[in-house]
Chains A and B, each alone.
Chain A
Amino acid sequence: MRSRRSVGDAAIASVTLLALCSGTWLLTSGDDGHAPPQPAASQADVSGAPRTGPGAPALPPSPPDRIRIPSIRVDAPLMGLGLTKAGSLDVPPAGRRNLAGWYEAGTTPGETGTAIVAGHVDNADGPAVFYRLGALRRGSTIEVERRDGGTALFEVDAVEVYDAKAFPDEKVYGAAARPELRVITCGGGYSRTTGYRGNVVVFAHLVGGSR
């Protein structure tokens, strides 16, 4: 009887100690959170000139429903986005962590031209849909599921980071002669007073489509 009780006591004592240590560790570690990954200079566009390679033949216009980027484990629905009064691209509601958007008045992904997708890097609760976008590398695949039942496959050409004060509108949003895609999120350094300094922008072009 006595020994059984002391075994129980020892178990409770060790659980208590373990809980104390892990609780303390959980509450003291990770105080600063984790900055989202930023693209390396080697992932930037090296050509400098506009890319005019043929890529895959354009798909007919069809609104996108979902974006998948397997290499950074993105699989999120897409909502339509408009413009803010200031003329910048609107963003999905911050409360929904796994939701991205596409610029509805523009080109649909897969069609000739520049299709634009944007999503949050984080929200008030922590990392969001495009948290790892800056870790994407040239040659990675982006899949866009379309409402016509097909999928547009894009290959990443470059991953850039731009300061908001010198955002290259024409390069990011301008027309393209082939089906291209931009995926945009916040990045480029963070300050508690002014927020993120700019945006991470992924440039990709269509390499295939399936129905």
Chain B
Amino acid sequence: MRRTARMLTGTALAVGAVGMVVVPAYGAEGGGLELGPASVVPGGEVGVHTDVCKNGAAAGDASAVGAGAFTMAPGSDDRRATGKFRVPPSAQPGTYEIVADCAEGGRRVTGDLVVSLTSTPGQVHPRGSVKTGVGGAFGRDPVQTAAGVTALAVAAAGGTWLLHRRARGDGI
């Protein structure tokens, strides 16, 4: 009852609703180079992975976005080439190609990085408030109620027994 009464009050607000584009948050695989997140604000750090390079070693290049070169080495969990770089705080919004050259075999992998000033376009943010309570904390504690009822039952039993004895004339 209480719950139905409080339905969806906060969802009417379209305040600052950001452009909602459904794109996976990371794992943009334009050319085998995965960027996480694939969309970042200036100053943000980006993790880079690829399955392509043998032995997991590669030379990364994020100079397109002004972050320069970075190295990729096998991750501690798996043998995938893993690296990271930080987008300079001065980076302009746009899409930048990040590349990595495998240390062996000479293969080149690429991935697209989106830099945006405000919200991450690749991610759909939730909107509005969250319905995380019904007010049950304001009700009586069920454990306390049970304890109270039990105590009264004990009192009733004890009282009955004493009255019974008195009625039989045993005296108290």
A193 in the interface, Cβ–Cβ < 8 Å? yes
**Residue from B2, B129, B131, B137 within 8 A of A33 (CB atoms):** B137
A106 in the interface, Cβ–Cβ < 8 Å? yes
- Residues of chain A from 99 to 158 with CB closer than 8 A to chain B in the complex: 103, 105-107, 111-113, 116, 118-128, 130-131, 148
Which residues of chain A are near B125, meaning CB under 8 Å? 106, 169, 173-174
A178 B11 Cβ-Cβ under 8 A: no
A25, B44: Cα distance in complex, Å = 58
In this complex, how many residues of chain B approach chain A with their Cβ under 8 Å: the count is: 76
B133 A20 Cβ-Cβ under 8 A: no
A88, B162: Cα distance in complex, Å = 61
Instruction: Answer whether A105 and B149 are a contact pair too, CB < 8 Å, given A121-B133, A177-B42.
Output: no
B37 A113 Cβ-Cβ under 8 A: yes
B113 in the interface, Cβ–Cβ < 8 Å? no
Which residues of chain B are near A169, meaning CB under 8 Å? 13, 15-18, 125-128
Which residues of chain B are near A52, meaning CB under 8 Å? 43, 89
In this complex, how many residues of chain A approach chain B with their Cβ under 8 Å: the count is: 86
- Residues of chain B from 103 to 145 with CB closer than 8 A to chain A in the complex: 116, 118-120, 123-142, 144-145
From A11-19, A39-47, A65-73, give the one contacting chain B.
Answer: A11-19
Which residues of chain B are near A13, meaning CB under 8 Å? 158, 162, 172
B75 in the interface, Cβ–Cβ < 8 Å? yes
A17, B141: Cα distance in complex, Å = 24
- Residues of chain A from 196 to 211 with CB closer than 8 A to chain B in the complex: 196, 198-199, 211
- Distance in angstroms from A128 CB to nearest chain B CB is 8
B45 A57 Cβ-Cβ under 8 A: yes
B84 A58 Cβ-Cβ under 8 A: yes
A159 in the interface, Cβ–Cβ < 8 Å? no
With CB as the reference atom, state the residue of chain B lying closest to A12. Answer: B158
Which residues of chain A are near B139, meaning CB under 8 Å? 33, 124, 126
0/1 string, A81-104, CB within 8 A of B gives 1:
001001111010010000000010
**Residue from A87, A94, A166 within 8 A of B11 (CB atoms):** A87
B5 in the interface, Cβ–Cβ < 8 Å? yes
A3 in the interface, Cβ–Cβ < 8 Å? no
**Residue from B15, B16, B44 within 8 A of A177 (CB atoms):** B44
Which residues of chain A are near B165, meaning CB under 8 Å? 9
B147 in the interface, Cβ–Cβ < 8 Å? yes
B129 A167 Cβ-Cβ under 8 A: yes
With CB as the reference atom, state the residue of chain B lying closest to A190. Answer: B135
B19 in the interface, Cβ–Cβ < 8 Å? no
A73, B67: Cα distance in complex, Å = 42
With CB as the reference atom, state the residue of chain B lying closest to A60. Answer: B47
B64 in the interface, Cβ–Cβ < 8 Å? no
A185 in the interface, Cβ–Cβ < 8 Å? yes
B10 A198 Cβ-Cβ under 8 A: yes
A36 in the interface, Cβ–Cβ < 8 Å? yes
Which residues of chain A are near B36, meaning CB under 8 Å? 60-61, 111
0/1 string, B53-93, CB within 8 A of A gives 1:
00000000000000000000001110000101000010000
12 residue pairs A–B, Cβ–Cβ below 8 Å: A25-B148, A27-B149, A58-B84, A60-B47, A60-B49, A83-B126, A116-B126, A123-B133, A166-B13, A166-B15, A195-B2, A195-B5
Q: Which residues of A contact B (CB under 8 A)?
A: 5-6, 9, 12-13, 15-17, 19-20, 22-27, 29-36, 52, 57-58, 60-61, 83, 86-89, 91, 94, 103, 105-107, 111-113, 116, 118-128, 130-131, 148, 162, 164-170, 173-179, 184-187, 190, 192-196, 198-199, 211
